Chain A
C-alpha cells in the first residue's frame, strides 16, 4: 500500500490536506497503542510516516517522483546552477545577523515559489524533477546557513 492509498486519495502532487487529516485522525482512533495496545504499532508507524511525508511539500515531491518510477536528479540543471551560484555569492557578502534573517526569509519565499510551480508540472515530470532538484539544493543551503536556533544545546 502506498502512502496515497493509505489516505484513500489519488497519486498526485496536489493533495487535500483536510481529507488527509480527517482520515489520519480516524485511523488513529482504531490503531493508536493508547487505545488498543501495542499490537498495531507497525501500522501506526506506517500511518505516521505517511502522514508526515504527504504533508511535507518537499518530501511529498520526492515520494511522488519515486512512485512514478523516476530517480531524482543528482545534479542541478545549468540554469539552476546559475541561481545557486548567485545565492552563494549573495550569502558570502552578508555580514550581519539581520541580513542573514532577511536572506533566509528570501530563500523560504523562493522555496515557496518552487513548490507552487510543482503543482502545475504534474504532467511534465522532467520539468518537475528539475524544479524539485533546485528546491532540494536551496533547502540544503538554508539548513546550512540557519541551522534552527533550538537544535539541542
Chain B
C-alpha cells in the first residue's frame, strides 16, 4: 500500500512519494520525472505523455485539459474529468510498475485559485479511476511544504507560482511545522502557455500570417516551436527555429529583447495580483523573509529578476520548480494518512462565496482568505405573502454584482409552509471543507420543518453522468492491479520497442549499441512474458534514454521529418 502526491499540471504532471522521510518523484515517462499532460486518442488506444507528443498527431490529441476543468466542454466525446482521469491513470499505473506496489490514495494539488467546480471536477477525475483522494491541496501551499521541510526555516514567505497555465501567489507563515496561509490570489488563465501564444503570434505576424487561418494541428505545432524557442533562449541574444506551415518553411525567431517585452506584459499582471495579496494579508513585502519561486516559468531568469526588483526581497529558487508541488503533496499525504502531529497545514478559502440578492448584488457569506474548515449561516425570508418557495443563486468571486462573478449553483427551497411575507426563517448554511469544496444547505426554521438542499455545480459533470462513467470505468478496469500492471508493462514494452527501433539511427553513437541490445533483450523477455526481466530492460532503456530523448524530439521538430507519419493540414 502506497500513498502518493500528484501534481496534475496544465503542461506537465508529477507523481511523488515519501521515502525515508523525504519526498521523491517517481520516474514515470520514459525515464523522466515530469510527464507532459498530453493525451492522444487513437483508434489503437490511449497514449499519454511524451509519446503522445511524439506522435505529432494534434488532430487526436488533447493539450492543457486542466484549463477546461469544471466546464461542459468535450474533446473527442470525452469530458475534461475523463481526460484528466486518463492522465492520472497513466501516472498511477506507471508508478505502480516502477515501485512494484499498488497505490491506494493520493493528495492531488490544484491551483489555489481553482473554483469550486474545478475542484469537484479534479476529485471526480480521480474517482473515475478508483483513486482515493485523501485531500486536494493548493499548489503554492504544497510548494511551501516542500520548501519548509527541506530548509527547516521559520518565518513569513511568499510563493510565486507561475506554471504552464495558472498563476498563484500565496503568503504563508512557517512556524515549527505549522504552515499557515495568510492570503492567496491568482489567475487561472495566466501562465507559460500565454507566453508561447504571444511568441507564436509575433512570429506569424512577421510573415503576415493570421492565427485565425491555422487549424488546431498547425497551432499546436506553432506553439511547440514557440515553446522550444522560449526554453532555448537562455542567455542567447537570439534563437531561431523552423516552422512548417502548408508545406512551406518559416523561420521563427525569438530575441532577448522581444522575449523581455512579451514576458513583461504577463509579469505585470502577476505583480498586480501579488500586490493585492499583500494588502489582504495586511503586510508589506518588507515584512517577509523571502519569495519562493515555483512553476516551470520561473526557470527564466527575467522572471526572478523582475520579482526580486519589484518587492526588493530575496527570491529563493533552490527547490526544483517543476517537482516541488508534487513533493509537497507527497509530504502532506504522508502526514494526514498517518495523522502525524509534527506538521499542520492551515489553508484558506481562495475566493469569496456568496448569494445573489434582489437587485443582482452579492451577499458575501464566506470571505476569501478565511481559514478552512469554515461554516457560515445567513438568514433569509420571503417577500410575498404565502410564498412557498425561494430560489438561491450561489456565486464565487470578488465583484459586487452577481453577474460578474462565477455562477456556482442554482437551487430552490420548496414546500415552505404558507406564511405572511417576512415570517419564514430560511437559514442558508455555507460549509467549506479542508479541500476547499463548498457545501450549501438551506432549511426553514420557524416551523421546525427543516429541509435541506444539496447543491450541485452548474457546470461540469452531473451526478448521473458521473454514475454512468464510474460504472463503465469499473467494468473496464475490473482486473486486479497486478494483472493490470502486467498488461500495461507488456503494452509499454511493445511501444518502447517500436519507438526505439524506428529511431535507432537518431540516437547518439555512444548510446546506440546499448539501446539496440537492450531493445533486443526486452523483445525476448516480452515474447516469453517474463515480466521481471521486462521491467529490468525497460528500466535500463528509460534510464539511458532520458539523456537524449528530448533532444531527438526537438530535433525532429525542427528538421521537419515529421511528415513521415501523417498529414497535418
Q: Which residues of A contact B (CB under 8 A)?
A: 21, 25, 28-29, 32-35, 41-42, 44-45, 48-49, 51-52, 55, 108, 143-144, 147-153
| Majority DSSP secondary structure for residues of B touching A | mixed
User: Distance (Å) between the CB of B433 and the closest chain A CB?
Assistant: 9
Contact of A147 with B400 in the complex, beta carbons under 8 Å: yes
Contact of A25 with B180 in the complex, beta carbons under 8 Å: yes
Chain A to chain B contacts (Cβ below 8 Å), 9 pairs: A32-B346, A34-B335, A34-B339, A51-B371, A149-B276, A150-B186, A150-B273, A152-B397, A153-B188
If A147-B399, A151-B404, A153-B406 touch, whether A52 touches B371 (CB-CB below 8 Å) is yes
- A48 and B279 alpha carbons, distance in the complex (Å): 19
Contact of A150 with B113 in the complex, beta carbons under 8 Å: yes
Is B178 close to A, CB under 8 A?
Answer: yes
If A25-B178, A152-B397 touch, whether A48 touches B372 (CB-CB below 8 Å) is yes
Contact of B175 with A33 in the complex, beta carbons under 8 Å: no
Contact of B434 with A34 in the complex, beta carbons under 8 Å: yes
Is B262 close to A, CB under 8 A?
Answer: no
If A45-B375, A149-B276 touch, whether A33 touches B341 (CB-CB below 8 Å) is no
| Interchain pairs with CB closer than 8 A, number | 85
If A25-B175, A25-B178, A151-B398 touch, whether A45 touches B404 (CB-CB below 8 Å) is no
> Counting chain B CB atoms within 10 Å of each CB, which of A33, A148, A153 scores highest?
A148
> Counting chain A CB atoms within 10 Å of each CB, which of B187, B336, B369, B371 scores highest?
B371
Contact of B180 with A48 in the complex, beta carbons under 8 Å: no
Is B376 close to A, CB under 8 A?
Answer: yes
User: Distance (Å) between the CB of B437 and the closest chain A CB?
Assistant: 14
- A45 and B370 alpha carbons, distance in the complex (Å): 10
Residues of A within 8 A of B352 (CB): 151
Residues of B within 8 A of A51 (CB): 371
Is B185 close to A, CB under 8 A?
Answer: yes
Is B351 close to A, CB under 8 A?
Answer: yes
If A34-B335, A150-B113 touch, whether A41 touches B273 (CB-CB below 8 Å) is no
Contact of A150 with B185 in the complex, beta carbons under 8 Å: yes
Beta-carbon nearest neighbor of A45 in chain B: B375
Contact of A28 with B282 in the complex, beta carbons under 8 Å: no
Contact of B346 with A42 in the complex, beta carbons under 8 Å: no
Residues of A within 8 A of B511 (CB): none
Contact of B373 with A34 in the complex, beta carbons under 8 Å: no
Contact of B376 with A49 in the complex, beta carbons under 8 Å: yes
User: Distance (Å) between the CB of B188 and the closest chain A CB?
Assistant: 6
Is B516 close to A, CB under 8 A?
Answer: no
Contact of B367 with A151 in the complex, beta carbons under 8 Å: no
If A25-B178, A52-B367 touch, whether A33 touches B405 (CB-CB below 8 Å) is no
Beta-carbon nearest neighbor of B280 in chain A: A148
Contact of A33 with B374 in the complex, beta carbons under 8 Å: no
User: Distance (Å) between the CB of A84 and the closest chain B CB?
Assistant: 17
Contact of A147 with B404 in the complex, beta carbons under 8 Å: yes
User: Distance (Å) between the CB of B428 and the closest chain A CB?
Assistant: 15
If A25-B180, A32-B346 touch, whether A148 touches B373 (CB-CB below 8 Å) is no
Find A151's partner among B344, B372, B374, B405 (CB 8 Å cutoff): B405
Residues of B within 8 A of A55 (CB): 282
Contact of B398 with A148 in the complex, beta carbons under 8 Å: yes
Contact of B346 with A28 in the complex, beta carbons under 8 Å: yes
Residues of B within 8 A of A42 (CB): 375
Residues of B within 8 A of A153 (CB): 187-189, 406
Residues of A within 8 A of B186 (CB): 150
Please encode chain B, from 359 to 381, with 1 for each CB lying within 8 Å of some chain A CB and 0 for all others: 00000000101111111100000
If A32-B344, A34-B336, A35-B344 touch, whether A147 touches B374 (CB-CB below 8 Å) is no
Residues of A within 8 A of B180 (CB): 25
- A35 and B177 alpha carbons, distance in the complex (Å): 13
Find B373's partner among A29, A33, A151 (CB 8 Å cutoff): A33
> Counting chain B CB atoms within 10 Å of each CB, which of A49, A151, A152 scores highest?
A152
User: Distance (Å) between the CB of A38 and the closest chain B CB?
Assistant: 8
